[in-house]
Structure 1
Amino acid sequence: MKRRTFLKTAGASGTAALLAGCTGTSGETTTAESGGGAETTTTQGTTVDGGDQTLSVGTYASFVDAPSTSPGVWLKDEFESEFDATLEWQTPDAGVNHYIERSLRGVESGADLYVGLDAQMLVRIDDKLDEALFTPAEGLSRLGDVNEELEFDPQGRAIPYDTGYISLVYDETQGEDGPFTAPETFDGLLESEYAGALLAQNPTSSATGQAFLLHTIDAKGEDGYLDYWAQLKENDVRVLGNWADSYTAYSNGEAPMVVSYSTDQVYANQSGEDLAKHQIRFLNDQGYANPEGMAAFADATEPDLATEFMDFVLRPEVQAEIAVRNVQFPATTNAELPEDFAQYAHEPPEAVTFAYDRLKDNLSDWTDAWAQEFASK
Structure 2
Amino acid sequence: MKRRTFLRAAGVGGVAGLAGCSGDGGGTGGTETTTGGTEPAETTGTTTGEAGGGESDLVVATYGAFVDAPSSSPGAWLKERFESETDATIRYETPESGVNHYIERAMRGADIEADLYVGLDVNMLIRLDEKLDGPLFTAADGLDRRGDVKESLEFDPQGRAVPYDTGYISLVYDETQGEDGDFVAPETFDGLLREEFSGDLLTQNPTSSATGQAFLLHTVKAKGEDGYLDYWNELKQNDVRVVGDWESSYAAYSNGEAPMVVSYSTDQVYAEESGEDLSKHQVRFLNDQGYANPEGMALFDGTDRSELARRFMDFVLRPEVQSEIAVRNVQFPATTTAELPEEFAQYAKEPPEAVTFSYDRLKGNLSEWTDAWARQFASK
**CA deviation map 1:220-268 (0-9, x unaligned):** 1111111111221222222222222222222222221111111111222
Matched residue count = 359
The alpha-carbon distance between structure 1 residues 282 and 131, as it changes in their structure 2 partners (threshold 3 A), is same
Q: CA deviation at 1:178?
A: 2.9
Matched with 1:166 is 169
| Separation (CA, whole Å) in 2 of partners of 1:65 and 1:41 | 11
**Aligned match of 1:100 in 99, 103, 109?**
103
Q: Conserved in 1, the CA contact under 8 Å of 2:166 and 2:334?
A: yes
Partners of 1:283 and 1:142 in 2: how far apart?
Answer: 33
Query: Unaligned 5+ residue runs, structure 1?
Result: 5-19
Find the aligned partners of 1:347 and 1:40 in 2 and give their Cα distance: 35
Distance apart, 1:122 and its partner CA: 1.1
1:127 aligns with 2:130: yes
> Of Structure 1 and Structure 2, which has the larger fraction of its residues in helix?
1
Q: Which of 177, 185, 188 is the matching residue for 1:185?
A: 188
TM-score of the pair, normalised by structure 1: 0.91
Whole-Å separation in 2 of the counterparts to 1:47 and 1:106: 23
Equivalences for residues 240-251 of structure 1 within 5 A:
240-251=243-254
**Within 2, Cα distance between the matches of 1:248 and 1:78?**
36
Match of 1:280 among 269, 280, 283: 283
1:33 has 2:37 as partner: yes
Q: Within 5 Å, which residues of 2 pair with 1:203-352?
A: 203-352=206-355
SS at match of 1:92: coil
Structure 2: distance between partners of 1:200 and 1:28: 18
Q: Which runs of 5+ in 2 are unaligned?
A: 1-15, 24-28
Counterpart CA distance in 2 for 1:175 and 1:249 is 16
Do the aligned partners of 1:41 and 1:93 also contact (CA within 8 Å) in 2?
yes
Conserved in 1, the CA contact under 8 Å of 2:32 and 2:210?
yes
- Is the CA contact (8 Å cut-off) linking 1:28 and 1:242 kept in structure 2? no
**Residue 200 of structure 1 pairs with residue 200 of structure 2:** no
Q: Which residue of 1 aligns with 2:20?
A: 22
- Say if 2:46 and 2:93, in contact at 8 Å, map to a contact too: yes
- Aligned partners of 2:304 and 2:377: how far apart in 1? 45
Alignment of 1:78-93 (within 5 A): 78-93=81-96
CA distance in 2, matches of 1:261, 1:343: 15
- Which residue type is aligned with residue 348 of structure 2? A
Alignment correspondent of 2:46 = 42
2:12 maps to none
Q: Is the 8 A contact 1:60 1:116 kept in 2?
A: yes
Among all aligned residue pairs of Structure 1 and Structure 2, give the percentage whose two residues are the same amino acid: 71
Pair 363,296 (structure 1): closer, same or farther in 2 beyond 3 Å: same
Mapped contact 1:28–1:243 kept (Cα < 8 A): no
- The code of the aligned residue for 1:46 comes to E
The answer to whether the aligner puts 1:370 opposite 2:366 as a matched pair is no
Aligned residue identity for 2:335? T
Once structures 1 and 2 are overlaid, which stretch shifts more, 93-102 or 304-313? 93-102
**Amino acid aligned to 1:150:** L
Aligned Cα root-mean-square deviation (Å)? 1.8
